[in-house]
Amino acid sequence: MAATEEEVTTTKEGADLLGKPKYKKLENGRFKCVQTGHELLEKDKKVYSQSKRCRLGLIDYALSHSKPPLNLFEQDPNARSKLKCKLTGDTVNKTEEHIWKHITGRRFLNRLEEKEREKESGSIPAEGGETPAKENGVEDEDK
């Protein structure tokens, strides 16, 4: 029982938020991380998957490919080590722990709920949906 309590205190909230990296076997016996491009030996896979470089690489990969839950974030233009939430406008450190704390926080969840209600009621068009555009500042006239 004591061993499990120690494990709980040593693992951080949100660790492995993005899961484990995926590897592709190379001809020379090494493995290549699909997300980060890092080459390594089989014995180093476990250590590498927990390293800071790998975790940041997974976050960058998820951001560039708009994978959930990072599809609601964008790179902060002022700092490479921070993300900006598209929903709340908050700046969050680029670590799985801080991202996890933000997306499970009260403010984020309230805004997400508001956005879902607006989509259901139809008051705001869904993301990616287009409204009738004005061409050269003039609305389309019915003929």
pLDDT digits (tens, 9 = 90+) for 60-77: 999 999 999 899 999 999
pLDDT digits (tens, 9 = 90+) for 16-57: 889 999 999 999 999 999 999 999 999 999 999 999 999 999
Rounded distance, CA 112 to CA 119, Å?
11
Which is higher by pLDDT, 16 or 105?
A: 105
Domain count, the chain: 2
Q: Is residue 4 part of a domain?
A: no
Q: Is residue 51 part of a domain?
A: yes
Q: Is residue 2 part of a domain?
A: no
Identify whether residues 73 and 112 lie together within a single domain: yes
Rounded distance, CA 92 to CA 101, Å?
9
* Mean pLDDT for all residues in the chain: 84
The answer to whether residues 48 and 38 touch, using CB atoms and an 8 Å cutoff, is yes
Residue-level pLDDT at 50: 93
Q: Which conformational region is residue 31 in: left (phi greater than 0), alpha (psi within -120 to 50 degrees), or beta?
A: beta
Q: Is residue 48 part of a domain?
A: yes
Q: Is residue 26 part of a domain?
A: yes
Residue-level pLDDT at 51: 94
Residue-number span of the structural domain to which 77 is assigned = 68-122
Identify whether residues 76 and 117 lie together within a single domain: yes
Q: Which of 30, 45, 67 is the last residue of a domain?
A: 67
Identify whether residues 42 and 76 lie together within a single domain: no
Residue-level pLDDT at 22: 96
N- to C-terminal Cα separation, the chain: 78
Identify whether residues 73 and 95 lie together within a single domain: yes
Q: Is residue 103 part of a domain?
A: yes
Identify whether residues 102 and 59 lie together within a single domain: no
Residue-level pLDDT at 90: 96
Identify whether residues 48 and 81 lie together within a single domain: no
Q: Is residue 116 part of a domain?
A: yes
Contacts of residue 140, defined as CB under 8 A and 6 or more positions apart, other chains included, come to: 132, 134
Q: Is residue 1 part of a domain?
A: no
The answer to whether residues 6 and 94 touch, using CB atoms and an 8 Å cutoff, is no
Which is higher by pLDDT, 113 or 2?
A: 113
Identify whether residues 81 and 111 lie together within a single domain: yes
Q: How confident is the model at residue 10 (pLDDT cuts 50, 70, 90)?
A: low
